[in-house]
Structure 1
Amino acid sequence: MTLTLTPSLTEPSELTIRPRYEGSNICTWIGFKHVNYLVEESVLNHLREGGLPPGAIYETYGLCTDIVDIDTRIVHALHIDDVVTATVRPHRRARDGELLFGVVLQVAREEGLVKAAMSTVRVQLRHDPRGGGDQPIPAVLHPHVVSQLGGAPGWDVEAPEVNLDTDDLIKQLTAGSNAFAWKWRMPYWYCHFTERVQMSGYLRLMEEVVDLFLEDRGVSIKTLLDEQNWIPVVPRSRITVLEEARMEEDLYTVFTVEEVFKDVTYTARMDTYVVRDGALVHTSTGTITHGYALIENRRDWSLVTFDDRMNAALAGTSA
């Protein structure tokens, strides 16, 4: 492979894309996970246009293209038939060991083209010696290459102190906090480049732990849908990869309610851990903000104020 970086790697790129049908879970609205999938696809397209196709640089240089941080704000709901214009711009604050991009998703509405979502995305090129025989990594890529995946600055990355000689790790991880925890063996379809959990896998984990948390607190999504015609909506989510998690490791996912804002939204933190070589390893962290909306008709909804049952569930008390 002859590597030719084009100006589009350092200048904006644009992609026209539709949401996946899988993401239309409630009425025709697209959930936060699939909004992030649109962001991911737009970044991958930007890399391809810039001369860094993920498949080719892996096959030639052993470089794995990994999204290690994705921070997304959703300001307008996307629907299944929408045609989305995604614009990707290189970010001026990129550091060594990463490629940093700003992404804007726009969609046509009656009032014109509106911003549906904005994201900041960090990408690392992780060298993988598996397979061998790859060509020397070009000098132009050296600043972006890492030997192990790691996250962005600004997070408290210290794992809590626990006793690994007991079998109550979930209880230890939630002790003294308004939290819910879940243990699950990482399947191969949450991984890529043969063995490591990828960002889309963490997005699926975040979606599932919210679902399990709400059921555990007695306010499952189906319960509120049946009884109050409420659905959860997400204005913001962020996930940062701190360390690598591997296929078939048991991942402990901890979901902690951090703040309820004016009875309209709540923000919770997701942390994931594996036990490796006799130590607890913090593999990812992130936050998600939820509100609730009343379904008005098949296309429209409006935000609601949390009632006593919802506030009690978020606080971990009885209504």
Structure 2
Amino acid sequence: MTTTSVSLRPRYEGSNICTWIGFKHVNYLVEEAVLDHLRQSGFPAGQLYERFGLCTDLVDLDTKILTAFHIDDLAQATVSRVAEDEGPLKLLVELTVERDGKTVKAVKSKVSVAFRLDPHGFDAEPVPAALAPHVVARIGGGAETIAVGDGDPLDVLTAGRNAFAWAWRIPYFYCHFTERVQMSGYLRQMEEILDLFVEDRGASIKTLLDEQNWIPVVPHSRITFTDEANMEETLYTVFTVEEVFKKFTFTARMDCYVLRDGALVRTATGRITHGWAVIENRKDWSLVNFDDRLIGAITGKAGSLSGRGAL
């Protein structure tokens, strides 16, 4: 089946500020639409694993949010195949919502799906022919590595850069198919590293909310897997500011690494675009220009150019 559609509602957990849904839960809607597309195409993720030993992995997720989601919105998701080439299955996901009696495009996302052979060796049926071009023995491999030597990984990752790094033990509930970090786990990392970054720079989410009624907003995010990260490894996540656009938005890169044999191996990379908005009432917000405090925090001019977090 090349195109499918489904109705979805955002999770209540994602309604953190007033009734707006954050970028992480918008991406969860995209993920649900992809899983439903596979289900309608005859390849439900549970059956693929139980019968064929195939682990369904979103390995690239590039999402643009065009209009804000609210908690009671009913999204209409359309998923289309982009190409039938070998490699990850390429999909285009579009979400629309109703606004004042009109259908409005809310989200456009490009998604890549790989079917990873389960490494645990249980008996399995032959891989379905239709999915064979998209099956891999391992996700990524040959990823970027950084030699650490006797240095602290956090210092190595932030030295001389406008960056913040955080070391964190991977728990089982960020993983799936028994041991590997899944896309939703990296989305949670992307959300948390921004929170830690601005707090480290003296402009925490709570501070700007209390003093100026400002909240962060994300119009664009992307995460790409470059290798595999496993349960109970230490994940080193570095957040590097790349560009500030007219004091209105800034882009930053997130890179995630694990330490193996004395080298940091990059397991995922991504980018996020951030702005800030003022809460106008319980329903509406509007983007604002960054003030001097926020510009100083983002650019590093308010303090040191790098920071680090503890386990």
TM-score by length of 1: 0.92
> Once the two structures are superposed, what CA deviation does each residue of 1:74-100 show, in whole Å capped at 9, x if it has no partner?
0100000001100000013x5412111
Match 2:41 to one of 37, 50, 54: 50
Q: Which residue of 2 aligns with 1:3?
A: none
Structure 1 residues 46-85: Cα deviation after superposition (integer angstroms, max 9, x where no partner) = 0000011110011111000000000000010000000110
Q: Find the partner of 2:91 among 101, 117, 128.
A: 101
Q: 1:150 to 1:157 in 2, by over 3 A?
A: closer
Partner of 2:306: none
Q: Tell me how far apart the structure 2 counterparts of residues 129 and 316 of structure 1 sit (CA, whole Å).
A: 44
- Which of these residues, 13, 16, 19, is aligned with residue 22 of structure 1? 13
Unaligned runs of 5+ in 2: 304-311
Choose between structure 1 and 2: higher strand proportion. 2
Distance 1:174 1:23 in 2: 31
Say which of 258, 261, 279 aligns to 1:295.
279
1:104 alignment partner AA? E
AA matched with 2:294:
M
Kindly indicate whether residue 149 of structure 2 is the aligned counterpart of residue 164 of structure 1.
yes
The DSSP-based 3-state class of the residue aligned with 1:143 is helix
**Alpha-carbon distance in 1 for matches of 2:239, 2:74:** 34
| Equivalent residue, structure 2, for 1:4 | none
Q: What is the CA distance between 1:157 and its match in structure 2?
A: 5.2
User: Quick check: 1:114 aligned with 2:99?
Assistant: no
- Does residue 174 (structure 1) correspond to residue 174 (structure 2)? The answer is no
| C-alpha distance in 2 between matches for 1:220 and 1:68 | 31
Question: Could you give the per-residue CA deviations for residues 131-156 of structure 1, whole angstroms, max 9, x where no partner exists?
Answer: 411112233322110001129xxxx9
Partner residue of 1:272? 256
Match for residue 76 of structure 1? 67
Cα deviations by residue, 1:151-210 (Å, 9 ceiling, x for unpaired): 9xxxx9533x432333x2101110111000000000000000000000000000000000
Query: Deviation string for 1:206-231 (max 9, x for gaps)?
Result: 00000000100100000000000000
How far off is 1:238 after superposition? Answer: 0.2
Q: For the aligned residues, what is the CA RMSD?
A: 1.4
Match of 2:58 in 1: 67
Cα distance in 1, alignment partners of residues 127 and 63 from structure 2: 32
Structure 2 counterpart of 1:162, one-letter code: A
Q: Deviations over 1:107-136 (max 9, x none)?
A: 000150001110000000000131411112
Correspondent of 1:242 among 214, 218, 226: 226
Could you tell me whether the CA contact under 8 Å between 1:68 and 1:150 is conserved in 2?
no
TM-score of the pair, normalised by structure 2: 0.95
Q: 1:317, 1:112 → 2: CA distance?
A: 45
DSSP-derived class of the 1:137 partner: coil
Measured in 2, the distance between the counterparts of 1:126 and 1:290 equals 32
Note if contact 1:162-1:169 (Cα within 8 Å) is conserved in structure 2.
no
Secondary structure at the residue paired with 1:73? Answer: strand
* Number of aligned residue pairs: 303
Give the ranges of 4+ consecutive aligned residues of structure 1 lying more than 6 Å apart after TM superposition: none
